[in-house]
Amino acid sequence: MIHVIATITVNPGLRDKFLAVFNRNVPAVQAEEGCLFYGPSVDLATGLPPQLPLRENVVTIVEQWESLDHLRAHLAAPHMATYRENVKDLVQGVSLQVLQPV
């Protein structure tokens, strides 16, 4: 199993619009072979001292996949190409962290 943390920075003021498009794609991703968990998250104010400042224009996608091959297939899936086209004017940047439990 692998974990993926995808950090998506959206253009200012467009987070809700981005989430609407993103959430329409979630069922297709969750139906993919090897998908164990896939969902968007946004920063939550907690008042905890070690927490980083809130990021108003960031959506963090938390994912779990059975294997790296399943993640690669996900990234190449036709519905992901459509999703990327649909959000291209909303997104400033994307970064991935792929993690292996130990």
Paired residues of 65 in beta bridges: 2, 35
Specify if 50 maps to a domain: no
Q: For residues 6 and 96, what is the distance between their CA atoms, to the nearest angstrom?
A: 5
For the chain, what is the domain count? 1
Domain that holds residue 10: 2-45+55-99
Query: What pLDDT, in 10s, does the model give residues 42-100?
Result: 999 999 999 999 999 999 999 999 999 999 999 999 999 999 999 999 999 999 999 99
Instruction: Give the residue-averaged pLDDT of 36-43.
Output: 98
**95, part of any domain:** yes
Half-sphere exposure in the Cβ direction for 70 (13 Å, CA): 20
Q: Is residue 89 part of a domain?
A: yes
Query: Does 30 fall in a domain?
Result: yes
Query: What pLDDT is stored for residue 8 in this prediction?
Result: 98
Main-chain phi, psi angles of 7, to 5 degrees: -105, 120
Q: What is the CATH number of the domain that holds 41?
A: 3.30.70.100
Verdict on whether the full-model pTM lies above 0.75: yes
